[in-house]
Amino acid sequence: MDRLLQTVLSRLIRNGRLRITTALGNTFTVGDGTGDLITIRFTNPAAQLALLLASDYTTAITDEVLYVDAGFHIEGMVFH
């Protein structure tokens, strides 16, 4: 599932610098490397799957259930 997550996010995130740490501890970075580093850390595979299955990634990322209860943490500054 880590490789699928990397493929999906690398297609979605074209600008900026986003580092993802998967529930298995694998780390990868997507984006063009510009701007401040944003870090997302998954603490369980269910959160990764929820993000992959979400039809609206913005809602999935900011959804309190995914963010707090299912093991999804964001570090850094995020501007919309």
Rounded Cα distance between 40 and 37, Å, is 10
Could you tell me if residue 20 is inside a domain?
Answer: yes
Rounded Cα distance between 25 and 20, Å, is 9
Instruction: Decide if pLDDT at 28 tops 60.
Output: yes
Could you tell me if residue 26 is inside a domain?
Answer: yes
Could you tell me if residue 59 is inside a domain?
Answer: yes
**For residue 47, what are the domain limits?**
2-75
Longest CA–CA separation in the chain, Å = 31
Structural domains in the chain (count): 1
Could you tell me if residue 16 is inside a domain?
Answer: yes
> Mind listing the pLDDT tens digit for each residue in 42-66?
888 888 888 888 766 555 555 444 4
Could you tell me if residue 80 is inside a domain?
Answer: no
Could you tell me if residue 66 is inside a domain?
Answer: yes
pLDDT classification of 71: cutoffs 50, 70, 90: low
Instruction: Decide if pLDDT at 75 tops 50.
Output: yes
